[in-house]
Structure 1
Amino acid sequence: MKLDVKKKWLITGVAGFIGSNLLEYLLQNNQQIVGVDNFSTGFQRNLDEVKDLVGDTKWQNFTFVEGDLCNFDICNKACDGIDVVLHQAALGSVPRSIADPVRSHANNTTAIVNMLKAAVDNKVKRFVYASSSSVYGDHPDLPKQEDKIGNQLSPYAVTKYCCELYAQVFAKTYGIETIGLRYFNVFGRRQDPDGAYAAVIPLWFKAIMQNDAPFINGDGETSRDFCYIDNVVQANILAGITENNLALNRVYNVAYGDRTTLNQLFNYLKSIIAPNSTLQPIYRDFRSGDVRHSLADISAARGGLGYDPQYKLTDGLNLAVKWYQEFLK
């Protein structure tokens, strides 16, 4: 997808997995970008990698602000002169939120209130923000449709639902245009495989590459709608530039629209990384706060934003493996 319009964009969480991929895309398309990060889960190496990929000339269009979004002054400074905010900064992970709900609330809920207020004060036109499939909670229906949610099952899920509620209120009260994107199990290059709260795909990339048996929580029949990073970048850009007024002030599922069990995922990864390996996963107890099955209905995003995901799970895994082979060698 080529970006023909010229805007000044703000990416929060710019040194993180999704933020750095948005930065790479926007710089390659000759946009002007301000990025904010406090490096709580992001890395300088991600910014360095983007700089190497885009080159020194395009890198000059990027301004970095190091700071915490719980500090309103940082948010206010970053929003100066911005046309579109892509708010990606958050403390992810259901288990992390269960272990430390106060920190999750501050980084996810307080931060978005600060960012929304700063955006309003600086007359930012469009505010696109990351939500999560976790807001669907215990609602049993598949596929998940945006207007049918259940009871949230973790502090993380509650914080993401709060983000949606605050965005709706700010849109009605202050007139700022908002679009929320409910991400479903995003994966791809620059997703960190290390740390206590690493996501399943980078964890398993690392384990299988090092001939270690990965852990599966439960029986392996838990299923997810895995979404490759380039699909997510597409959704953010479309949300940032859409001129469809009916698409505004809504939330959309961002996924591929297909369901894969953890057992299937393990077999896919092993076939790509080590097809002759006899490695088998180790099964352990189900994890607190996890939903059993997840599958997105993406028809609203298709109709409202023109979202058209190009990469299914196996496509994304085959692309991501090259990055992990280089990163882990």
Structure 2
Amino acid sequence: MKILITGGAGFIGGNLCRRLLAEPAITQVRVIDDLSGGTRDALDGLNVEFHHGSILDQDVLGAAGDGVDAIVHLAALGSVPRSVSNPVASHEANATGTLRVLETARANGNAHVVLASSSSVYGANPTMPKAEHLQLMPMSPYAVSKVATEQYAIAYAKCYDLPVLPFRFFNVFGPGQRPGHVYAAVVPVFLEAALTGKPLPINGDGLQSRDFTYVGTVVDTLTQAILERVTSGPTNLAFGTRTTLLELVSVMEEILGTTLSIERREPRPGDVRHSQASNDELRKHFPGVQPVDLRNGIDATVRWMQEYLEVQG
């Protein structure tokens, strides 16, 4: 099988490349990435065919997708705050970009497409846990663009019989997720601060909760979806946990053996208060998947972050 990963030089993409290359059935892994968020370092030592460019560039995307059997579509402009600052850029990368990826799959014999959507699509819907049948109530341009991502996939499945599987990711974390930029995710931001003696920045009261999902579990599931050509409507890729940011800090304190200081900041517009997945649909399609618990996942991430910061100097 020949696989194309869009955004393959990013955090999840780099981990997925390593996982796919361990599979005998995968004969080639290709990556397209404009390196606006990812880095070539994420692919160091990996036998992948790299295409430098945007999924909005039809020539580059067409070359990268030529003859592939499946596409894992991870490329996106992430971050709710970034989408609030620049909604047009989020729409173009995430909605229009997805459309171009789906067209590429259709042009290559209806290649199987596994897509990354987001828990942010549930938005203001207060029902917990978040099940796939719930009304979507997005609260940010980013969330709207992810609704478009999955709805375009479903439309292509119905109109063109394209095999698709949109996954709704919930706060993926783990080794390879870098800090050091304004839109960095909460786990690397907290760990960098903790390991460099700075206060951990918390927006709001810290009681907002998230369903943290370890990247190893995510890439195992994506790999199984590709190998078994699983198709479905939108499916949560998380396991029904619910951890507040203050509880996350406590887990880090336990692992590091120290008390961490906190810097309180104003709440961010567009942020969802609580997030917790129903995993019934996921278990139906992937009954054997075994999630890594939060403590073990944070422990592995701490070790990676220590090495990363040492290399960075």
Provide the TM-score with structure 2 as the length reference.
Answer: 0.95
Q: Which residue in the other structure is 1:258 paired with?
A: 241
Give the distance between the partners of 1:156 and 1:118, measured in 2 at CA: 23
Q: Which residue in the other structure is 1:152 paired with?
A: 138
Give the distance between the partners of 1:117 and 1:99, measured in 2 at CA: 29
Instruction: Give yes or no for the alignment of 1:276 onto 2:261.
Output: no
Q: Which residue in the other structure is 1:183 paired with?
A: 169
Structure 2 residue aligned with 1:209, among 195, 200, 222?
Answer: 195
Shift of 1:307: 5.5
Structure 1 residue aligned with 2:125, among 139, 156, 162?
Answer: 139
Aligned residues: 308
Give the distance between the partners of 1:85 and 1:116, measured in 2 at CA: 9
Which runs of at least 4 in structure 1 moved beyond 4 Å after TM superposition?
Answer: none
Q: Which residue in the other structure is 1:68 paired with?
A: 54
Cα contact 2:8–2:31 (8 A) shared by 1: yes
Change (3 A) 1:214 1:255: same
Cα contact 1:76–1:122 (8 A) shared by 2: no
Give the distance between the partners of 1:306 and 1:18, measured in 2 at CA: 22
Cα contact 1:256–1:311 (8 A) shared by 2: no
Q: Which residue in the other structure is 2:294 paired with?
A: 313
Change (3 A) 1:19 1:193: same
How many percent identity over aligned positions? 41
CA offsets per residue over residues 59-97 of structure 1, 9 Å max, x none?
A: 2xx211111111122222111111111000011100010
Q: How does 1:1-329 map to 2 (within 5 A)?
A: 7-30=1-24, 31=26, 32-48=28-44, 51=45, 59=47, 62-242=48-228, 248-273=231-256, 275-277=257-259, 279-306=260-287, 308-329=289-310
SS of the aligned residue for 2:3 comes to strand
RMSD: 1.3
Cα contact 1:97–1:104 (8 A) shared by 2: yes
Cα contact 2:112–2:164 (8 A) shared by 1: yes
Cα contact 1:37–1:68 (8 A) shared by 2: yes
Shift of 1:28: 2.2
Shift of 1:248: 2.1
Give the distance between the partners of 1:254 and 1:120, measured in 2 at CA: 25
For 1:155, give the aligned amino acid: P
Provide the TM-score with structure 1 as the length reference.
Answer: 0.91
Give the distance between the partners of 1:224 and 1:269, measured in 2 at CA: 15
SS of the aligned residue for 1:250 comes to coil
| Larger deviation, residues 163-172 vs 118-127 | 118-127
Shift of 1:287: 1.2
Q: Which segments of 5 or more consecutive residues in structure 1 lack a partner in the other structure?
A: 1-6
SS of the aligned residue for 2:50 comes to strand
CA offsets per residue over residues 122-174 of structure 1, 9 Å max, x none?
A: 11431000000000011111100001033210000000000111001111111
Give the distance between the partners of 2:209 and 2:59, measured in 1 at CA: 42
Cα contact 2:7–2:32 (8 A) shared by 1: yes
Give the distance between the partners of 2:252 and 2:308, measured in 1 at CA: 17
CA offsets per residue over residues 294-321 of structure 1, 9 Å max, x none?
A: 1001110111233623201111101111
Cα contact 2:19–2:220 (8 A) shared by 1: no
Q: Which residue in the other structure is 1:3 paired with?
A: none
SS of the aligned residue for 1:202 comes to helix
Give the distance between the partners of 2:64 and 2:282, measured in 1 at CA: 28
